[in-house]
Amino acid sequence: GNKAKITVLTSATGKRATKRFTAQGVEGYAREGRWRWREAEIGTFDDLAHLLSEIERDPLSLIVQGTVAPAWRDKEIIPRTKAKGEPSLIDGGSRVVHFDIDDLPLPLGTGWHYPDGVARAIWASVIIARVPAFDGVSFHWQASSSAGTPGKEHLAKLHIWALLDQPIDEDQRKALLNLAGADHSLASINQPNYVAAPIFDGVPDPLADVGRSGVVIGERDHATVDLIAWPETKIRQAKA
């Protein structure tokens, strides 16, 4: 019964939660202040992979690490961030970790003609090398929106998702993402975790023939939190 809950937000006004590539250039994520919310229950790594695949096909949805606050749970539509008043999201801890690797060169011998190879190489040479607790753990990978696009072909732009055996809070998540050399802004409970596939409008999708996501099944569904080499200060804070 150690189910993880993941908060999924969907634009209430039809705004894109993904990038759009056109002949004129790249249109960024649309700004949205109104979100429908739901909680997806994750029991196994398989559940996580299914959820991510589902959201990948939904250009209006994204994931946040926060939990919808009690004061907002009876509302159908919530803000993602709130300047004043009762916050819409609180830190209930999360067993889901999302590594966003952005500016590393492609590992030797890999290329976007074989994205699965890129993902496996980054997992081994970056994530496991820096955080050995993830050795043997299953993961879901997804190419970033701009992976393989003109001028970015040489970069390993990648999102990697995995499960932990117990929830960690925002401070611990920031420490973990820093350990892994991933984008630590994703530690925040309000930060959008973009999953939806990009839209290519009148320009080629460089990954059209090879796919932009997949899973690598390991020996275990999740990493053991107690095996992560947490920085000393974080341990003290977590126990305080």
For the segment 118-127, what is each residue's pLDDT rounded down to a tens digit?
Answer: 999 999 999 9
Write down the mean pLDDT value for the chain. 93
Q: Say yes or no to pLDDT of 239 above 80.
A: no
Cβ proximity of 47 and 140 under 8 Å? no
- pLDDT band of residue 9 (cuts 50, 70, 90) is very high
Query: Above pLDDT 90, what percent of the chain?
Result: 86
* Beta-bridge partner residues of 94: 168
Cα torsion angle, 45, 48, 54, 57, sign? negative
Q: From the centroid of its chain, how far is CA 182?
A: 11
Q: Is the pTM of this model over 0.85?
A: yes
- pLDDT tens digits, 166-205: 999 999 999 999 999 999 999 999 999 999 999 999 999 9
Distances (CA, A) of 169 to 66, 82, 225: 9, 20, 12
Return the pLDDT at 136: 98
Strand, coil or helix: 179: helix
